[in-house]
Amino acid sequence: MKRFTVFFLLIFSLKLLAQASPVDSVRVQKQSRDTIVSTKPKGEVEVIADIEKVNAPQKTVRYNPTKAGLYSAVLPGLGQYYNKKYWKIPIVWGAIGTGIGITIWNENQYTRYRSAFVAQLNGQTHEFSNIPGITADALGRAQDRSKRQRDYAIAITSLIYILNIVDAVVDAHLYEGRKDPDLALKPAVIFDEFSNQNAKAGLSFNYNF
């Protein structure tokens, strides 16, 4: 009986050894050592140059007001382009273009009524002859009205043209002031120390010197 038991245990242990997985192996890779790149130290002249570069005052962009005005006088909107205010260019072109369009339309109307008025005085036919109630007085009032509206359009367009130049000059002149950190205009909360009212919103003007 003992022999049978020993034999059974021997067979069972061999079976377990056969089913066991092989021993895991750890792959050891040779890692490269960290290397320190040696840099050549800067000389005294280079160090001083770097310090002066860091401490140098920042360059402020400046625009020439005269040049901006001349650009806007030659071509409306060009001064705004010089000042890098691109969003103003469509406004300038739209305002001046509208004024020119209204001027041309009223000039054409004035020419029509003027020709009809002269023809009516001379007893000739014109494009308004078939309309009842058309007289020389009516045609005269119509031509005067068209002429007056044309003159108004010319005056307004000329004013817009001048404002275009003034805007470019002032914008170029005030650019440096807007970038000045010692001059600031910004919203603030105003507290009144001598009353019981709540705080109010307002503007604060700061000037440092």
Q: Would residue 152 count as lying in a domain?
A: yes
The pTM (predicted TM-score) of the whole model is 0.57
8 domain-assigned = no
Per the domain annotation, does 40 fall within a domain?
no
Tell me if 25 is assigned to some domain.
no
Residue 150 lies in a domain: yes
Q: Check whether 38 has a pLDDT greater than 90.
A: no
184 HSE (CA, 13 A, CB side)? 9
Task: Pick the more confident residue, 1 or 91.
Answer: 91
Q: Residue 69 sits in which domain range?
A: 65-180
Residue 192 lies in a domain: no
Task: Give Cα separations from 199 to 89, 168, 170, 184, 191 (angstroms).
Answer: 40, 39, 35, 21, 5
Tens-place pLDDT, residues 85-130 = 899 999 999 999 999 999 999 999 999 999 999 988 888 888 888 8
The domain total for the chain is 1
Instruction: Tell me, yes or no, whether 170 lies in a domain.
Output: yes
> Is 44 inside any structural domain?
no
Neighbours of 150 (CB within 10 A): 19
Q: How far apart are CA 82 and CA 65, in angstroms?
A: 10
Interacting residues of 39 by C-beta distance below 8 A, sequence separation 6+ = none
Q: Which DSSP letter does residue 203 get? A: E
